[in-house]
Amino acid sequence: MSPELKNIALKDAPSSTDEFIKGLWRENPVFVQVIGMCPVLAVSNSAENALAMGLATAFVLVMSNVLISSLRNFIPKQVRIATYILIIATFVTMVDYAIQAISVDLHKSLGAFISLIVVNCMILSRAEAFASKNTVSKSAIDGLGMGFGFVFALFCLGSVREILGNGSIFGFPIFPESYQEWIIMILPAGGFFTLAFWLLIFNHYKLKKAKS
Amino acid sequence: MSESKTRSPGTQTNDGSKKMLIAMVGIGVVCALLIVFTYEGTFGRIEMLKAEALEQAVFKVLPGITKTGIFELTSEGKFIPSDGKDRTKTLVYAGYDDQNTLKGIAIEAKGQGYADILKVLYGYDPASQSIVGFYVLESKETPGLGDKIEKDENFLSNFNGLSVALSEDFKTVINKVIPVKFGTKENSWEVEGITGATISTRAIGNIMGESTATMIPLIYQQQESFAFAPNAPTK
Amino acid sequence: MFSKTLHISTSPHIRKGVSTDTIMQNVVWAMMPVLIFAVFSFGINALLVIVTAVVSSVLTEHVLCKWSNKESTISDWSAVITGILLGLTLPPIFPLWMTFLGGVFSVAIGKFVFGGLGYNLFNPALVGRAFLQAAFPVAITTWQSAFLEGRFFSISSSVLAFPFAEPKVDSISGATPLSAFKFDHVMTDSSDLALGLISGSTGETSAVIIILGGIYLIARKMMNWRIPVSILSTVFVLSGILYLIDDTIYPSPLFMLFSGGLMLGAVFMATDMVGSPITPLGVVIYGFFIGLLVVVIRVWGGLPEGVMYAILLGNALTPQIDNFIRPRVYGTKKTKS
């Protein structure tokens, strides 16, 4: 980047809280950008799974953002994507081992989706669109914002699906014994319905705000 | 990981590819190191947790035991003590009480369920010639339906005293374990299903039938090979 | 091709005096005998289930129209048909709150999100039923025996289950012929099947009455006869072949025709004008595909009944069929079939 361009970028640069809020709300990866849908639909069948998956993804996102932005002048342009994937895969493997070491059961229920974080387009898109062009601290904040936006979205889906589909939240029953579970909500189809429901609410809210 | 990356751009020797090479190799090495460190750091705990989970399952299917020992089935049909590391072998787990007497044997069995392969562990008590416990190790059955095989009390009570009595020559199970519909269980060798989980419970009944028909006669004939061996890898 | 001064409008240019409303009303009349027989064989439980399904469908249509600031479209009878069809596919002792949810889902997700009548990809009633099947698999496979004593006066406790509560099933449940065959290899007599002296969903039991309703609609040219004929003949031929191969494993073709929801589905659901192809050849392909799926799901699938999924998948294939099989435009050469 030439010095002049850098100056312009700095002048218009948003504050770090802005950068954080951007990922959490305004450009939420799930509700606004609608990217990285594979884990969103697949492992959001309970609040616990959703939270674990969200945190694992957020960790990988933050770490890869930091590493990629600190190496951004060192990585040759031609091989940048391969390098990003290499870096992302490393952190995913680390998370995979860490989750196994925390709880075998949790690892079992998240299953293959941990390894699939490698190809989560949200992480690669942040690496390519943000971390490769911004400073380490800004990339870290961007990663945190996007990561927590992802956790928030997954949790929204996971809690609704667990409450309706299993009558519980984090495994604690919240309805009387006679509650009839909506099995479909913990099946993959329920993921699509819940996502559609949240997108509806989000877009309705956005339209209303735009009108007023 | 780093090795495979070095090959691709290495043919041209201009500055650009040299830089690429250095960048990729350098990052590759750093990444490989990170993975190795994490692996080393977590390996012990992961192995421990896995062994613990299996051991807990053995304790669940064999009530009243305090120690376990692992045995593997050799190709000649003999049981020898094992360290349980080789997962390709057929493994069984013997359970002992405080006096080191054999209380029962836990056997792994698997077969096709509704969604995927079902893997179960069941406890066999040679003294009463019956199954005394049952636990689902792996199942991807439909939540709320097929997964009742893990929780439904009436279904699990099938495996408390499920008869696998052997014929006079101890070579075959007299009445093969078979699945029956809910509400129609009449004999102690029948596995009563769950309404709404017919396919999964049938699968379990059939898995149990197949496994007990081959394993129970083998185990019963060789009870003495399961005697408590203090130097065998126990826990 | 044409001179620009010519007035161009899309076909049809000559209109018949039949409107959507008239056709829909006639479909309702054709379904009346089925409804009456359902209430006759399953009593007040079936009546409650069907009425709830109709009320919730119509109500949902009305409310959604109001929300989107449109004129209410309940007067075109399509929501009534959706409600009746949904009610007819449910077990007689299905809890009312689930039925209500099914009606809401049918109209909202099955029809309204696609843009309302004429734009829906799938048969709305079947979308609602598929949702209920996946959400409450136990309740939807709990059946009442037909012709019980006192069926006109006693309401099952399962029907009146409190909203969101699990239904308590009393001991009057009976297995359907298809599940009896699938899980226990028990065959039901074909004459019982044809006359409807069996347990099953409210409206699927009497094949004869459903066929009569179909003949009425065909005679009035309000239904494409090719659809039921191609579905039923495909099922008959395929299951006949299987039966000839091994009559100990495979059910007889007559059993296949008259059991489960095949008749109801073939006559009243697969013939939905929106979800089925336009051309005669396309319709035959559509019918063959549904018939094939019905046989495959029933014989080799994990579920005892597959008519619902077969029709939904047939609906999904319809745009493709219409795309590939285009009628030749008058006066032009046939380009590709």
d(CA A95, CA B38): 9
Please tell me if residue B181 touches chain C, with a CB cutoff of 8 Å.
yes
3-state secondary structure of B207: helix
Q: How many CB atoms lie within 10 A of CB A111?
A: 13
- Band (C174; pLDDT cuts 50, 70, 90): low
Q: What is the residue-averaged pLDDT of chain A? A: 86
pLDDT more than 90, % of chain C: 42
At position C218, the amino acid (one-letter code) is: I
- Band (C82; pLDDT cuts 50, 70, 90): very high
Residues B128 and B67 in one domain: yes
Residues B124 and B148 in one domain: yes
3-state secondary structure of C4: coil
Task: Establish if B222 belongs to a structural domain.
Answer: yes
Task: Establish if A73 belongs to a structural domain.
Answer: yes
| Chain B residue numbers touching C302 (CB-CB < 8 A) | 114, 199
d(CA B168, CA C53): 62
Structural domains of chain C, count: 1
Among candidate residues C224, C274, C11, the one with its CA nearest the CA of residue C118: C274
Query: Residue B129 is part of which domain span?
Result: 62-226
- Band (A41; pLDDT cuts 50, 70, 90): confident
Task: Establish if A5 belongs to a structural domain.
Answer: no
Phi-psi region of A171 (alpha: psi -120 to 50; beta: other; left: phi over 0): left
Do C138 and B195 lie within an 8 Å CB cutoff? yes
What pLDDT digit, counting tens, does each position of B130-176 carry?
A: 888 898 887 777 766 777 888 888 888 888 888 888 888 878 888 88
What pLDDT digit, counting tens, does each position of B203-221 carry?
A: 888 899 888 888 888 888 8
Rounded average pLDDT over A167-178: 87
Residues B42 and B74 in one domain: no
Rounded average pLDDT over A178-197: 89
B92: part of which helix (H) or strand (E)? strand B91-96
**Chain A residue nearest residue B36, CA to CA:** A94
Q: How many CB atoms lie within 10 A of CB C269?
A: 26
Rounded average pLDDT over C59-76: 88
Task: Establish if C8 belongs to a structural domain.
Answer: no
Tell me the angle at which helices C20-42 and C44-67 cross, rounded to the nearest 10 degrees: 150
pLDDT at A14 over 90: no
Residues 6+ apart with CB under 8 A from A126: A61, A65, A142, A143, A146
- Band (B12; pLDDT cuts 50, 70, 90): very low
Q: Note the pLDDT of residue B2.
A: 44
Residue with token string 């479209």: C73
Task: Establish if C312 belongs to a structural domain.
Answer: yes
Residues B16 and B74 in one domain: no
Is the separation of the CB atoms in B65 and B97 below 8 Å? Answer: yes
Structural domains of chain A, count: 1
Task: Establish if B55 belongs to a structural domain.
Answer: no
- Using CB atoms, which residue from A71, A75, A183 is nearest to B144? A183
Rounded average pLDDT over B103-112: 87
Classify residue B182 by burial, with Cβ atoms within 10 Å: 0-12, 13-18, 19+. middle
| Chain A residue numbers touching C135 (CB-CB < 8 A) | 182-185
**Chain C residue nearest residue B195, CA to CA:** C138
Rounded average pLDDT over C230-242: 94
d(CA A212, CA A116): 41
Classify residue C264 by burial, with Cβ atoms within 10 Å: 0-12, 13-18, 19+. buried
Q: Note the pLDDT of residue A155.
A: 93
Task: Establish if C101 belongs to a structural domain.
Answer: yes
Task: Establish if A6 belongs to a structural domain.
Answer: no
Task: Establish if B18 belongs to a structural domain.
Answer: yes
Q: Note the pLDDT of residue B10.
A: 45
Task: Establish if B30 belongs to a structural domain.
Answer: yes
Q: Note the pLDDT of residue A151.
A: 94
Q: At B124, phi and psi to the nearest 5?
A: -115, 130
Structural domains of chain B, count: 2
Q: Note the pLDDT of residue B234.
A: 45
pLDDT more than 90, % of chain B: 7
Do A184 and C135 lie within an 8 Å CB cutoff? yes
Rounded average pLDDT over B67-72: 82
| Chain C residue numbers touching A191 (CB-CB < 8 A) | none
| Chain A residue numbers touching B33 (CB-CB < 8 A) | none
Please tell me if residue C183 touches chain B, with a CB cutoff of 8 Å.
yes
3-state secondary structure of B107: strand
Query: Residue A198 is part of which domain span?
Result: 16-211
**Chain B residue nearest residue A78, CA to CA:** B20
Substitution target from B112, B198, B201 for chain C, most C beta carbons within 10 A: B198
Among candidate residues C235, C244, C243, C311, the one with its CA nearest the CA of residue C271: C311
Task: Establish if C14 belongs to a structural domain.
Answer: no
Structure tokens at B112: 């096709």
CA distance A159 to chain B (A): 16
Q: How many CB atoms lie within 10 A of CB B113?
A: 25
Full 3-state SS string of C223-258: CCCHHHHHHHHHHHHHHHHHHHHCCCCCCCHHHHHH
Residues B162 and B221 in one domain: yes
Provide the pairing of β-strand B79-81 with B67-73: antiparallel
Residues B34 and B119 in one domain: no
Phi-psi region of A111 (alpha: psi -120 to 50; beta: other; left: phi over 0): left
pLDDT at A1 over 70: no
Task: Establish if B184 belongs to a structural domain.
Answer: yes
| Chain A residue numbers touching B135 (CB-CB < 8 A) | none
Q: What is the residue-averaged pLDDT of chain B? A: 81
Do C164 and A180 lie within an 8 Å CB cutoff? yes
- Band (C170; pLDDT cuts 50, 70, 90): low
d(CA C146, CA B52): 54
- Band (A3; pLDDT cuts 50, 70, 90): low
Q: Note the pLDDT of residue A26.
A: 83
- Band (B179; pLDDT cuts 50, 70, 90): confident
Rounded average pLDDT over B15-37: 88
- Domain of C150, CATH number, reads 1.10.3430
| Chain C residue numbers touching B114 (CB-CB < 8 A) | 302
In chain C, positions 113-152, which contact chain B (CB-CB < 8 Å)? Answer: 137-138, 141
Residues B114 and B183 in one domain: yes
At position C306, the amino acid (one-letter code) is: G
d(CA B17, CA B39): 32
E-assigned strands of chain A? Answer: 168-169, 172-173
Rg from Cα positions in chain C: 21
CA distance C181 to chain B (A): 13
Tell me the angle at which helices C280-300 and C307-324 cross, rounded to the nearest 10 degrees: 150
Task: Establish if C311 belongs to a structural domain.
Answer: yes
Number of CB pairs < 8 Å for A and C?
30
Please tell me if residue B220 touches chain C, with a CB cutoff of 8 Å.
no
Task: Establish if A10 belongs to a structural domain.
Answer: no
Residues B91 and B187 in one domain: yes
Residues B110 and B67 in one domain: yes
Is the separation of the CB atoms in C221 and C30 below 8 Å? Answer: no
Residues B43 and B66 in one domain: no
Phi-psi region of C11 (alpha: psi -120 to 50; beta: other; left: phi over 0): beta
Please tell me if residue B49 touches chain A, with a CB cutoff of 8 Å.
yes
pLDDT at A203 over 80: yes
Among the listed ranges A154-158, C100-104, C108-112, C303-307, which one has the minimum average pLDDT value? Answer: C303-307
Is the separation of the CB atoms in C232 and C188 below 8 Å? Answer: no
| Chain C residue numbers touching A182 (CB-CB < 8 A) | 135-136
Provide the pairing of β-strand B190-192 with B178-180: parallel
| Chain C residue numbers touching B144 (CB-CB < 8 A) | 137
Q: Note the pLDDT of residue C138.
A: 79
Long-range contacts of A9-12 (CB under 8 A, 24+ apart): none
Using the Cα atoms of residue A188, residue A190, residue A193 and residue A195 in order, give the sign of their dihedral. negative
Do A178 and C165 lie within an 8 Å CB cutoff? yes
Task: Establish if B231 belongs to a structural domain.
Answer: no
Q: Which residues pair with B190 in a beta bridge?
A: B178
Substitution target from A45, A175, A179, A180 for chain C, most C beta carbons within 10 A: A180
**Chain A residue nearest residue C166, CA to CA:** A180
Task: Establish if A4 belongs to a structural domain.
Answer: no
Number of CB pairs < 8 Å for A and B?
72
Among the listed ranges A73-87, C169-183, C306-320, which one has the minimum average pLDDT value? Answer: C169-183
Please tell me if residue A186 touches chain B, with a CB cutoff of 8 Å.
yes
Please tell me if residue B115 touches chain C, with a CB cutoff of 8 Å.
no
Task: Establish if C304 belongs to a structural domain.
Answer: yes
| Chain C residue numbers touching B148 (CB-CB < 8 A) | none
Q: What is the DSSP string of A168-193?
A: EETTEE-S-TTBPP-GGGGSHHHHHH
pLDDT at B63 over 80: yes
Among the listed ranges B146-150, C187-191, C212-216, C252-256, which one has the minimum average pLDDT value? Answer: C187-191
d(CA A99, CA A54): 13
Structure tokens at C222: 């309000």
d(CA C286, CA C280): 10
Structure tokens at A14: 């948003």
Q: Note the pLDDT of residue B230.
A: 55
Is the separation of the CB atoms in B50 and A104 below 8 Å? Answer: yes
Among candidate residues C142, C141, C172, C140, the one with its CA nearest the CA of residue C154: C172
In Å, how far are A12, A115, A142, A169, C218 from A50, measured between CA atoms?
36, 15, 21, 12, 53
- Using CB atoms, which residue from A86, A105, A183 is nearest to B27? A86
d(CA C252, CA C239): 7
